[in-house]
Amino acid sequence: MATVEIKISDELLKAAKVPDERRSEEVAKLLALELYRERAISLGRAAELGEVSIAEFMEFAGEREVELDFGAEDPQPDRLTLE
């Protein structure tokens, strides 16, 4: 997977409660979470992009009070990810 480098202020990272030691990973999860919240990607894809298991991503979403949608319209992508 290709990567890009971006600049984000310390103030923004602190406001997002991103730990210093895992900045890149946490910001990737936050971005994946936002895409999931906007229904642009599935739960399984969000976990994949956040580089965590679906269970870990579900916990991450819950900690941030994001309602989970298990793909009622098309559950196939999430089902394949779970398998």
Residues 6+ apart with CB under 8 A from 63: none
Q: Give residue 66's pLDDT.
A: 85
In a domain, 35, yes or no: yes
Of 4 and 73, the one with more pLDDT: 4
Residue at 39 is within a domain: yes
| Average confidence (pLDDT) over 21-33 | 91
Neighbours of 28 (CB within 10 A): 16
Q: What is the dihedral of CA 71, 74, 77, 81, to 10 degrees?
A: 40
Question: How many domains does one find in the chain?
Answer: 1
Domain-located, residue 67: yes
Q: Is 1 helix (H, G, I), strand (E, B) or coil?
A: coil
- With respect to residue 50, please indicate whether it lies within any of the assigned structural domains: yes
35 with 43: CB under 8 angstroms? no
Q: Is residue 75 part of a domain?
A: yes
Q: What pLDDT score was predicted for residue 57?
A: 93
Range of the domain at 31: 18-82
Q: Which pLDDT band holds residue 41 (cuts at 50, 70, 90)? A: very high
pTM: predicted TM-score of the whole model, two decimal places: 0.75
